[in-house]
Amino acid sequence: MNQQDLHIEVSGLWKVFGNRPERALQPEHAGKSRDEIQDQLDLVIGLRNLSFTVTRGRTFVVMGLSGSGKSTLARCLIRLIEATKGQILFDGEDIVEYPPEALRQFRRDKIAMVFQNYALLPHRRVIDNVAYGLEVQGMDRDSRYRVASEAIETVGLRGWEYYYPSEMSGGMQQRVGLARALAVDPEVLIMDEPFSGLDPLIRREMQDELLTLQADLQKTIIFITHDLDEALKLGDRIAIMRDGIIVQEGTPEEIVTQPANDYVAEFVQDVSPAKVIRAGSIMQEPDFIVHEEQEARAALNAMQDTNAETAFVVGDDRVLKGILTQDQVTELAKQDGKTLEGAHGYALATTGPETFIEMIIPLAAKTERYIAVLDDEGRLLGEISRRALLAGMAEGGEEEAR
């Protein structure tokens, strides 16, 4: 990983609640469980020697049941509670060492938090709630209202600027909270179970809204949740916590297909791999590729030599133009000097490398040919056969598809 891409680095982080918490860190207690330490020392382990990194512009989801330590972690990251031991580095600077003024500036300028209970000011209108952080920063009224209005529009609440929170639904209030966080243009968003109090339908809408915003804004997000489906949907990487420790960290695909222990396996046992495995994981190198400027006769000879039934036709920079069967190339080869340019053949099913398998299945049902995997510029990256797709739907599908 490029060092510039490393945004947050947490190392050896402990949070112990109780009198003289440093006692829990002594070597003689290293092998003891959370319950044993609580019984013997009357101390509660909130976080136990946590270490992880977060890449800039990515969503890092911390998932766990009640009491796992996930919300304690969120509050330690912004120093709403002080860690007992460890480092919390943002862009290489340890905020644990920040004096009060530097910490205030850090919270004001670089980070924002979105809470489960919205934390809106009930006596302030929407635009004043959204502009509150800018007001604290000292921005003048006209400027902060302009920025707040843009944030309100970003979260889809245009027209609600002068309503009070009590006049809005829970989902709309949560959008106000998100707009307030975005208005200060933070480098990092920490979201502590922001959607858990919403109805299921509104919750899904808010998840989709966050994905859309993140695709555009590319913020570094630490998202706290107890919901596995939410974690798998939103996270680029997921850390599963239990009793103050991270029991597994990885991509959604790794969590589902390679659970680290029985605890994680029980969590993911009902999750279909098709929901988390992406096209890029199961695609293979195309069997046969020809350039559109190649003569049909030469392409036909090469296809016959390799027993290739179909050929992907590409232009410069491997931009995909179409797919041709051997019979179609045979017809073209009857014309002396005829190239493959303009001969696109069959309609082609395409997808991107980040597309989940469950979204590719309908494509496979509509075509007898390979599904082409393309990048954003239309360049051919690989192909997916029906066999590879079926293998990918099974647990451990990535290895079976090879």
Tell me: the pLDDT tens digits for 321-375? 989 989 999 999 998 888 998 877 766 889 999 999 888 888 887 777 789 999 9
Percent of the chain beyond pLDDT 90? 68
Residue 319 is predicted with a pLDDT of: 94
d(CA 149, CA 161): 7
Going from N- to C-terminal start, the domains of the chain cover: 280-400
Residue 397 is predicted with a pLDDT of: 44
What is the average pLDDT across 289-306? 93
Joined tokens for residue 300: 């036909």
Residue 70 is predicted with a pLDDT of: 94
d(CA 47, CA 89): 17
What is the average pLDDT across 74-79? 94
Residue 362 is predicted with a pLDDT of: 85
Tell me: the pLDDT tens digits for 183-203? 999 999 999 998 887 888 888
pLDDT reading at 46 higher than 80 = yes
CA atoms within 13 A of residue 74's CA, in its CB half-sphere: 25
Average model confidence (pLDDT) across the chain: 90
Residue 1 is predicted with a pLDDT of: 55
For 250-283, b/e burial (b = at least 16 CB within 10 A) is bbbbbbbbbbeeeebeebbeebebbbbbbbbbbb
Tell me: the pLDDT tens digits for 83-107? 999 999 999 999 999 999 999 999 9
Class of CATH domain 280-400: alpha beta
Q: Place 399 in a pLDDT band, splitting at 50, 70 and 90.
A: very low
d(CA 4, CA 57): 11
* DSSP label of 356: B
Joined tokens for residue 320: 């995909």
Tell me: the pLDDT tens digits for 166-177? 999 888 898 898
Strand arrangement of the beta sheet that strand 93-94 belongs to: 44-55, 6-17, 85-90, 93-94
* DSSP label of 146: H
Note the pTM of the prediction, 2 decimals. 0.83
